[in-house]
Structure 1
Amino acid sequence: MIHIFKKSIPALALALLSFSSCDKWLDLKPQDGVVAEDYWKTKEQVRAAVNGLYISLITPVYGNRHLSQELFMHGEIRTDMVDISTFAPQAYTEYRFADMLPTNSFSNWGMFYKIINYCNNIIDHAPAVKDLDPTLTQRDLDAYVGEALAIRAWMYLNLARIWGDVPIKLTYTASDEDLVSIAKSSQNDVLKAVVADLVRAEPMVRETFGSTAADKGKITRHTVNALLADVYLWQDEFQKAADACDEIIDAGVFELVSGDPSTWLAELFGQGNSVEGIFELQYDRQQLNPFFALFRLNAIYTAGQNVYEGLFQFDATDPENFDVRGDRGALSTATNMIYKYHGVNRTQSKFLEDSYTHWMVYRYADVLLMKAEALNGLNRGQEALDLIYTIRERGNAMQGNDLNPGADDQQGITTFIVEERAREFAYEGKRWFDVLRNARRNNYERLDLVTSMIVNYAPADRQQAMLGKYRDVDSHYLPIYYIEIQRSGGVLKQNPFYGN
């Protein structure tokens, strides 16, 4: 059973979210307690529902955790990019050191399914409004439904990457009485459903909303194509992934920001909504992000001990020659703090009240490296390398971490891409998924990508036990939360690594 609600259901989205003259989000939150049949009557209500969907992406919607906080955890906690501090509760330690049990609260997928239900509400009910309100145009209706389809697809992509096989629920659940027990679908079928939603959404959504904040903070056709490229890579559909990347590249509206050390962090993260951003969760002064507590004030996460010297490296002969993405880019070597979400620029940090750095879902650098991965899968190694070196040149990557693979060395290029993605997207919630996606191809031909990463961070007294677990590929996906198993009445089966 996918348990989403307790006693009543919000119709989601009674908020009227709009953009102010300074292109910032207004902090108008969804109200609860209105049932669907009393709600879906006007185009303003449809717009409010979609705006409320975006609000759910930046505010706590399940417990007290933000979606970005959840995505960071699932993308980074099992990797060599982070350490967890003594402030981290036991659940974090269990997750990091492969001691997860179905009782661990981080195995609860409720946040993702709650957002999916918000999407289903719009997809199911918005079309009927056109018959009640003739001022709702077909173009606007299509765009609204397309945005909900794309966000639903994004949530299911996350579920498939984190839990593997999961239930698919494509209709709205209004109350506990409407809940039914749904068996899991295979990861392959979930990914097919993701593609189906995105292919349907792609011609429906807008290319532009006419303002920078909206174009970066809402679903556009470019966002849909970035999602398509991502899921196609998980399906090993390399030509389709490359084609989706080309849709974005050929649009000509994105480019890499300058690698100038004085502006790179400031443009991409300090300010946000740069020419490189494709889809960013739009925190602002009215809705702060959760990162100050996670990374700075009694920080739960710190940078991994070997990230700077091992991954970014440095030039001992020339202190002015450095990777802009390293010290005071991704992390602070002086304090081992994850810096990316706190820096105004390389020399100035934000205060708590300024903690509104966006969560980057996709940016143009990701498109270029996804295309490189696709081209490598198509045995077009030189083209893949050209894109990798474009990213390295922008970041001023150190010569010492240039693996210099040959154009016909497909496995060497794979390793190079995975390492470069670690540098480029440090602490953006991508590391575990990048490693897993590349490791699992061809029946886990590159399981070494997982095991070598475990060796990089596992304490000596845990290393062999962790390696033993990670060599069982079923361990790469989380257990289903025990309450879901109990509520399903035997319909939901536990993921194989964790028993039945």
Structure 2
Amino acid sequence: MKNIFIIGFLFVLSGCSKTYLDRNSLTQLGEASFWKTEQDAILGINGIYDALQDRIMYSGSLNGTAGMPMYDNFGDNAYNAYKFEGPGNFMIANIDPSGAFFSDLWTSLYKGVGRANLAIESIQKMPASAISDASKQALLGQALFLRSLFYMHLAVYYGDVPLILNVQKLEESYVSKNTYKEVSDQVIKDLKSSADMLPASYPAAQYGYATKGAALGLLSRFLLYNKDYQGVLDATNAILTLGYTLNPSYTQLFTEQGEFSKEILFSVRFSQDVSNNSETFSSTYLAQPKVDQQPMPNMVNDYYCTDGRPITSSPLYNANTPKENRDPRLTASVYFRNDIFLTDINRVFTGNTATKFGLKKYIRSSASTTGISVFNPGGQDFIVIRYADVLLMRAEALLELNQLDEVYPLVNQVRARVNMPAIETVEGTGLSQDALREIVRHERRVELAFEGLRFFDLKRWGAMEGAFQRVTADKIAGYGAFYQGEKSQIFPIPQNELNANANLLQNPVWQ
């Protein structure tokens, strides 16, 4: 596998993909000499995927701006010890619009948007003699999906942002913001079109490209965020027919051995051998597991015992042996003191983190696979959407539509994978909407912990204040002064963007 660089009127492509960049290298290709063949179109699409591998997107891990796999640091699930990476300073209200985190994320997202716009415009113009209609539709569907993914992040994290849907000339670059609704409407429209255009699957050699399931899954996530519960039911109902299943092993799913699981709707792909990053999110830190993403005590305590009851009421819980008789997802996700966390060198986790816990989910359990012993990147893919999330999104939509009977089997299916008891066995039947809401929200927390979705959930539920209270109660040194109200739930537009473009206005809460 080789890196690709397309320079000139196109964009620069570089990265470490297993699928997206498995093509012959090109150099010095201008717009006039490109977009002539189907292979050109494939290379152009690969360049959009490459943006997902930016450090600030899905590969960033240690000693730099935090990537999206670290977004559980925004909230009550995990602690960002290296506060300069972004989430830590945000959590302690010690960051402003000039922060590199906000600027790097904004730049990367709009880089992806620009690449998608170029691909969409160029592929649409390609004649039938250059590309088959089926290939054109599939590639356009991928470009629309990826543009929607970038814009969903912009809308959720920044609110009102410029909506750019074509290739800009320099004189067109000084744009104003569009409303959240305008951006949201476009994302939903494009995802519906993408779902219609994309195939349900690809040949094995093309694994990793967006499918119909990926588009429907992202659509479900964004509709849920917008509280369009009927829309979520419609989208997830279509997903249920596409053959996705829960991976038999929860633990294996978050390793390289689980990368081709039928549970995965969409993942960002990485390969150790061709990585040009100093590290990716799966890197191993020799002194302790993932020093900059440490599970919070309140998160660890929220995992139930194997009888399905909280540790505060279960007779199975023993504070002297806190990981025994617990939901298996806990020991699949968190290292406790005296656990072996680097198996090849028999390295013991001493509990030497600020929270006393270590992150296990997604983190490699060996010190080296290529002779590099420190900050070794690893080749672990990052799952963006998976089937368990789909089931829980559907359960939440049914719950909010007061169709309560249909919530039970969905949550039970997720619990059964890890041999946790059904709702009826523990909490009972005929539960109120409020009682079921607590169950569904708890299930999302423990099932999806450390997958970068906690901030998204807390913001949607209007539950950020309660999360900050739990963080405060954990008494982690230096973690306790938080932004209040809406400022805790939205990022500022980067100051350098405001300085360069007088037509942009700052988010009101950050003025």
Query: Can you list the C-alpha shifts for 1:108-147, whole angstroms capped at 9, x where unaligned?
Result: 211111011111110011122225xx14111111110110
Provide the C-alpha distance between the structure 2 equivalents of 1:233 and 1:63, rounded to a whole number of angstroms: 22
What's the offset of the Cα at 1:274?
0.8
CA shift digits 1:328-362 (9 cap, x unpaired): x1121224221111256xxx787565712211101
Q: Which residue of 1 is the match for residue 439 of structure 2? A: 416
- The 5 A counterparts of 1:184-263 are 184-211=177-204, 214-215=206-207, 217-251=208-242, 253-258=243-248, 263=249
> Do the aligned partners of residues 38 and 297 (structure 1) sit closer, same or farther apart at CA in structure 2, a change above 3 Å counting?
farther
1:291 aligns with 2:281: yes
The answer as to whether partners of 1:281 and 1:359 remain within 8 angstroms in 2 is yes
Q: What is the CA deviation profile of residues 209-262 of structure 1, one whole-angstrom value per residue up to 9, with x for unaligned ones?
A: 121x634x11000101101111111222111111111111122x211122xxxx
Partner amino acid, structure 2, of 1:360 = I
Following the alignment from structure 1 to structure 2, what is the Cα–Cα distance between the partners of residues 142 and 54?
A: 17
Within 5 A, what are the aligned runs for 1:432-443?
432-439=455-462
Name the counterpart of 2:50. Answer: 55
In 2, Cα distance between equivalents of 1:430 and 1:62: 14
Q: Indicate conservation of the 8 Å contact 1:479/1:498, yes or no.
A: yes
Whether the aligned pair in 1 keeps the contact of 2:55 and 2:67 (CA below 8 Å) is no
| Distance change (3 Å), C-alpha of 1:223 and 1:141 | same
With over 3 angstroms needed to count, the CA separation of the structure-2 counterparts of 1:250 and 1:184, relative to structure 1, is same
Equivalent residue for 2:302, pick from 310, 316, 320: 310
Q: What secondary structure, in the 3-state scheme, does the structure 1 residue paired with 2:216 have?
A: helix
Pairing partner for 1:37 from 29, 32, 38: 32
**3-state SS of paired residue (1:453):** helix
Residues 51/25 of structure 1: CA separation in 2 closer, same or farther (3 Å cut): closer
Query: How far apart are the structure 2 equivalents of 1:299 and 1:89?
Result: 13
Q: Distance in 1 between matches of 2:167 and 2:388?
A: 36
Is the 8 Å Cα contact of residues 116 and 143 (structure 2) preserved in structure 1? yes
Gapped regions of structure 2 (runs ≥ 5)? 1-6, 306-310, 338-348, 350-356, 370-374
Determine the C-alpha separation between the residues in 2 that align with 1:11 and 1:373. 42
Q: CA deviation at 1:486?
A: 1.0
Q: Which amino acid letter does the alignment assign opposite residue 208 of structure 1?
A: S
Q: Tell me the distance in 1 between the aligned counterparts of 2:412 and 2:144.
A: 35
Alignment correspondent of 1:77: 73
Work out whether residues 156 and 194 of structure 1, in 8 Å CA contact, stay in contact via their aligned partners in 2: yes
Measured in 2, the distance between the counterparts of 1:284 and 1:388 equals 34
Cα distance, 1:399 vs structure 2: 9.3
Normalised by the size of structure 1, how large is the TM-score?
0.81
Match of 1:442 in 2: none
| Bigger shift: residues 283-292 or 182-191 | 283-292
Deviation at 1:18, TM superposition (A): 9.7
In the alignment, the residues of structure 1 paired with residue 367 and residue 479 of structure 2 have an alpha-carbon distance, to the nearest angstrom, of: 36
Task: Name which of 491, 497, 501 aligns with 1:478.
Answer: 491
CA offset at residue 394 of structure 1?
1.7
Change (3 A) 1:350 1:224: farther
- CA–CA distance in structure 2, aligned partners of residues 398 and 432 of structure 1: 28
- Counterparts in 2 of 1:366-377, with a 5 A limit? 366-377=389-400
Is the partner of 2:326 in helix, strand or coil?
Answer: coil
The one-letter code of the counterpart of 1:182 is V
Amino acid at match of 1:264: Y
Q: 1:18 to 1:78 in 2, by over 3 A?
A: closer
Deviations 1:4-24 (A, max 9, x none): xxxx866137789997xxxx6
Counterpart-to-counterpart distance in 1, 2:439 and 2:389: 15
2:329 maps to 1:325: yes
> Residue 173 and residue 357 in structure 1: after superposition, are their counterparts in 2 closer, same or farther (change >3 A)?
same
CA distance in 2, matches of 1:461, 1:290: 27
- Which shifted more, 351-360 or 330-339? 351-360
Residue aligned with 1:433, SS: helix
User: For 1:171, what is the secondary structure of its paired residue?
Assistant: coil
Alignment match, 1:152: 147
1:281–1:360 contact (8 Å) kept in structure 2: yes
Q: Deviations over 1:386-428 (max 9, x none)?
A: 211221222244899x993865632332332222111111111
Counterpart position of 1:3 = none
Aligned to 2:352: none
Q: Which residue of 2 aligns with 1:443?
A: none
Per-residue deviation, 1:463: 7.9
1:338 to 328, 335, 359: 359
**1:137 equivalent among 121, 132, 136:** 132
Aligned Cα root-mean-square deviation (Å): 3.4
**CA 1:147–1:160: 2 relative to 1, 3 Å:** same
> What residue is the counterpart of 2:346 in the other structure?
none
- Please report how far the alpha carbon of residue 98 of structure 1 lies from its aligned counterpart in structure 2 after TM superposition: 2.9
Q: Distance in 2 between matches of 1:454 and 1:306?
A: 11
Deviation at 1:457, TM superposition (A): 0.9
1:454 matches 2:468:
yes
Contact preservation (8 Å) 1:418, 1:435: no
Aligned to 2:109: 112
When residues 10 and 395 of structure 1 are mapped into structure 2, their CA distance, relative to the original with a 3 A threshold, is farther
Could you tell me which residue of structure 2 aligns to residue 487 of structure 1?
500
Residue 269 of structure 1 corresponds to: 255
Structure 2 residue aligned with 1:445 = none
Cα distance in 1 between the residues matched to 2:464 and 2:55: 31
Q: Deviations over 1:433-459 (max 9, x none)?
A: 0111122xxxxxxxxx22111111135
Cα distance in 2 between the residues matched to 1:63 and 1:202: 23
Describe the shift of the 1:31–1:304 C-alpha distance in structure 2 as closer, same or farther (beyond 3 A). farther
Matched to 1:451, the amino acid is: E
1:96 matches 2:91: yes
Cα pair 1:282 1:359 within 8 Å, conserved: yes
Question: Deviation per CA, 1:249-284, whole angstroms, max 9, x where unpaired?
Answer: 122x211122xxxx4312443411212111111112
Instruction: Provide Cα deviations, 1:81-120, integer angstroms capped at 9, x if missing partner.
Output: 11122x4437443212233311111112111110111111
In structure 1, give the amino acid aligned to 2:329. R
1:496 aligns with 2:508: yes
> Aligned AA for 1:339?
K
C-alpha distance in structure 2 between counterparts of 1:77 and 1:148, whole Å: 30
Q: 1:121 aligns with which of 112, 118, 122?
A: 118
% identical aligned pairs: 23
Structure 1's unaligned 5+ residue stretches are 1-7, 440-448
